Amino acid sequence: MTNLSSYRDEFPILQDRTYLISASLGPLSKRSRAAAEEHLDLWQRLGPEELWFNHGLPKLQECRERFARLIGADADEIAIIPSASAGLSSIATCIDFGSDRNKVVLSNMDFPTNHYVWRASMRAGAELDVVSSPDGISLPAEDMVARIDDRTAVVNVNRVLFESNWIMDLDPIVNAADAHGALVVVDDFHGSGVVPLDVHSAGIDLLVTGALKWLCGGQGIAFLYCRRDLIEKMEPRVVGWFGTVEPFDFDRSELRLRPDARRFEAGTYALPQAWTAAASLELILEVGVEAIRARNQELTRLIIRRADENGMELLSPRDDSRRGGLVRLRVPGGRSAAEKVLHQLFERDVVLDQRGDALRISPHFFNEEAEIDRCYDELAKVI
């Protein structure tokens, strides 16, 4: 077993609750709380120019640099955005759907935001081609590849499917998109920080994700990666002053977007989140995504074994190579029963989450086997 229990003191919630839902909200670390308090202290003492120029803008750059290291990118390929939804929407405005190349390939297992953004793009001429999962868990890459053709503008891929946590095989999808001149846009909200990724090696064109979940960085800050040789071809229509070359010139006469990925940055940043995210990214990089992945797989294997022993139906992949960071288990009795069980677990200080008729259990690197045992002990009392 990989021993990362020395990090448990970083997360105060673990003293009071069995916290097994980092796939929905990564817990607050002492580092991120201290960083947030540092920002509040600076805000209390400083005027705007001192706060922004001496502290805020450098802290945002720390976030770009640390996230770039995490995914194998360069800092000038990273934009800070308020949410993955905002980033994906901005990307969508860069695509010309007014020609014969107007198709968007995506799947029925993608997070709803992906569908909403591309459905909104139908007003501009986009045509959606939705690939269905054969079993509600998996999505074979060949099923996506079969839909990619010379009419395809965008292939939208969730690297880790948010419900089942099936890991997509990106290589054949990227190769097919390249062969047909389509862009590959990856939503990695459920992979970043728990499943290793090198965007340069993977050949991904664009990626969006956020600090909320496995990165433990809190709400209100997310990241957009754009491959360097693609950047200046992307001309978003969702823009703002921080995406321009000289934002503090206050020039109204023309729009000059930055030559790096920060052209996707629009209005004033949610500055407090730069502190919490910078601290959490430092922690994730310190532990290392490879080590996080190894520990998570140890714990999810145990979750699956205990589910089998308790006769619970597994709705996630058994294969380690296909399983992301969480395990989904069906609760007998349907959605209302699952919701009732979830809240009874909350009362017992066991924190999971629920989607439909299933519970989702997602341990992070700081969790221990005893917490999995306690989860099942309490679960046995309420099912």
- Phi/psi-derived region of residue 328, left when phi > 0, alpha when psi is between -120 and 50, beta in every other case: beta
For the chain, what is the HEC assignment? Answer: CCCCHHHHHHCHHHHCCEECECCCCCCCCHHHHHHHHHHHHHHHHCCHHHHHHHHHHHHHHHHHHHHHHHHCCCHHHEEEECCHHHHHHHHHCCCCCCCCCCEEEEECCCCHHHHHHHHHHHHHCCEEEEECCCCCCCCCHHHHHCCCCCCEEEEEEECECCCCCEECCHHHHHHHHHHHCCEEEEECCCCCCCCCCCHHHHCCCEEEEECCCCCCCCCCCEEEEECHHHHHHCCCCCCCHHHECCHHHCCCCCCCECCCHHHHCCCCCCHHHHHHHHHHHHHHHHHCHHHHHHHHHHHHHHHHHHHHHCCCCECCCCCHHHECCCEEEECCCCHHHHHHHHHHHHHCCEECEEECCEEEEECCCCCCHHHHHHHHHHHHHHC
Residue spans of the chain under pLDDT 70: 1-3
Q: What is the pLDDT of residue 82?
A: 96
Q: What is the pLDDT of residue 5?
A: 82
Q: What is the pLDDT of residue 383?
A: 87
CA distance 261 to 146: 31
Q: What is the pLDDT of residue 145?
A: 98
Strand partners, 127: 103
The pLDDT tens digits for 204-238 are: 999 999 999 999 999 999 999 999 999 999 999 99
The pLDDT tens digits for 150-168 are: 999 999 999 999 999 999 9
The yes-or-no answer to whether 5-20+288-382 and 37-285 have a common fold is no
Return the CATH architecture of domain 5-20+288-382. Answer: Alpha-Beta Complex (3.90)
Q: Minimal CA–CA distance to 186: which of 205, 166, 207?
A: 207
CATH of 37-285, one of 3.40.50.2300, 3.40.640.10, 3.40.50.1370, 1.10.10.10: 3.40.640.10
CA distance 266 to 90: 10
Residue 142 identity (one-letter amino acid) = E
Going from N- to C-terminal start, the domains of the chain cover: 5-20+288-382, 37-285
**Is 250 buried (19+), middle (13-18) or exposed (0-12) by CB count in 10 A?**
exposed
What the block records as the tokens of 122 is 């139908």
What the block records as the tokens of 335 is 């959605």
Residue 70: φ, ψ to 5°: -65, -35
Q: What is the pLDDT of residue 1?
A: 45
Q: What is the pLDDT of residue 315?
A: 97
This prediction's pTM = 0.95
